[in-house]
């Protein structure tokens, strides 16, 4: 028997069919925005016990040790599974990650902290100001009202994570013989934290600096920011850096250095870049002196 539909029912059928691609598109958009358009990147050893486990641009690092590992940064909520997969691909067990550190509490570096903390059982250490934002799921009292609306409307909100220890400038973080020093280098955010630590690579010891972003955001200005930046530039200049990295791979040339490993005498050599580090600090300071905000 033929199915007879009234005009109204036809309209409903057409509407329902039209909704399918819209829903699929929305789901694809949502998944993409959860990971900020990031793609999976091959994890690799930078030098010694220091590894890259981040996405194509949003960086995360693993510092491994016999008594447990330290993970720096959690990426977006949607890139946390990539970080976990990268740790596994390198042959490490995420449950051996004992401490998770954070450079800055923006969505792209702290969004995945809660998921990674759950997967690993690790403790999260962060500066005071970063801890407040991480525990609120992304609320930062220093950001301008229109941008803060993005938090209140959940657009830049992420799963909050519990911070187990609040770090002061100069504090050390230890997991067995692995030891990192926290440098509160505010400016990009009030509690932005750089890390310095030695890495043993064969017979040499290389000093690593994971440096904060030096970009001053127009939407994130606070009292004392200029003083913080002066302190930040002085601090970063005083740190010995053979290898340097930052929270976005494009800043420190991850891909260029990764490709250069193929032809290098030692795969760590392309990452030994003290001149690149000085240029990074110089250009950040020059932008600050010119009053550049982004």
* Shortest CB 106 distance to Zn ion, Å: 4
* Shortest CB 131 distance to Zn ion, Å: 16
Q: Which is nearer to Zn ion, 142 or 242 (CB)?
A: 142
Residue 170 half-sphere exposure, CB side, CA atoms within 13 Å?
3
* Token output for 5: 């539909």
- Which range touches Zn ion (CB under 5 A), out of 20-28, 100-108, 141-149, 231-239? 100-108
Q: Which is nearer to Zn ion, 69 or 190 (CB)?
A: 190
CA gap 150, 257 in Å, rounded: 36
* Shortest CB 263 distance to Zn ion, Å: 33
Does position 257 bind Zn ion by CB under 5 A? no
Q: Which is nearer to Zn ion, 106 or 183 (CB)?
A: 106
Contact 90, 62 (CB under 8 A): yes
* Shortest CB 140 distance to Zn ion, Å: 10
Question: Which positions ≥6 away from 78 have C-beta within 8 Å?
Answer: 31, 32, 33, 34, 35, 36, 38, 111, 112
Question: CA distances (Å), 152 to each of 76, 234, 259, in order?
Answer: 18, 36, 42
Q: Which is nearer to Zn ion, 73 or 242 (CB)?
A: 73
Provide the residue count of the chain.
Answer: 294
In this chain, which of 35, 98, 106, 183 binds Zn ion, going by CB under 5 A? 106
State the DSSP code for 242: S
- Which range touches Zn ion (CB under 5 A), out of 15-23, 45-53, 97-105, 203-211? 97-105
Residue with tokens 């792209």: 108
* Shortest CB 55 distance to Zn ion, Å: 15
Q: Which is nearer to Zn ion, 87 or 143 (CB)?
A: 143
Residues that bind Zn ion (CB under 5 A): 104, 106
């Amino acid at each position: 028997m033929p199915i007879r539909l009234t005009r109204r029912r036809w309209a409903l059928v057409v509407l329902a069919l039209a909704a399918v691609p819209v829903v699929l598109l929305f789901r694809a958009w949502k998944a993409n925005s959860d990971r900020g358009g990031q793609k999976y990147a091959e994890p690799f050893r930078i030098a010694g016990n220091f590894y890259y486990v981040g996405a194509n641009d949003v960086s995360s690092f693993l510092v491994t040790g016999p008594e447990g590992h330290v993970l720096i940064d959690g990426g977006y909520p949607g890139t946390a599974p990539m970080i976990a997969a990268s740790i596994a691909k390198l042959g490490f067990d995420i449950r051996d990650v004992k401490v998770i550190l954070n450079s800055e509490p923006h969505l792209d570096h702290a969004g995945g902290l809660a998921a990674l903390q759950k997967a690993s059982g690790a403790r999260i250490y962060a500066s005071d100001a970063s801890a407040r934002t991480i525990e609120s799921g992304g609320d930062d009292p220093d950001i301008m009202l229109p941008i803060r609306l993005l938090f209140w409307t959940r657009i830049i909100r992420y799963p909050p994570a519990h911070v187990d220890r609040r770090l002061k400038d100069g504090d050390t973080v230890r997991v067995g013989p692995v030891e990192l020093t926290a440098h509160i280098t505010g400016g990009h955010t009030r509690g932005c934290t750089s890390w310095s630590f030695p890495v043993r690579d064969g017979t040499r010891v290389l000093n690593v600096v994971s440096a904060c972003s030096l970009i001053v955001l127009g939407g994130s200005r606070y009292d004392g920011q200029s003083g913080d930046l002066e302190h930040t530039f002085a601090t970063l200049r005083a740190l010995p850096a053979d290898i340097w990295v930052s929270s976005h791979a494009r800043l420190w040339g991850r891909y260029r250095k990764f490709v250069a490993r193929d032809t290098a005498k030692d795969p760590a050599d392309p990452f030994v870049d003290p001149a690149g580090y000085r240029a990074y600090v110089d250009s950040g300071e020059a932008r600050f002196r010119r009053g550049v905000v982004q």
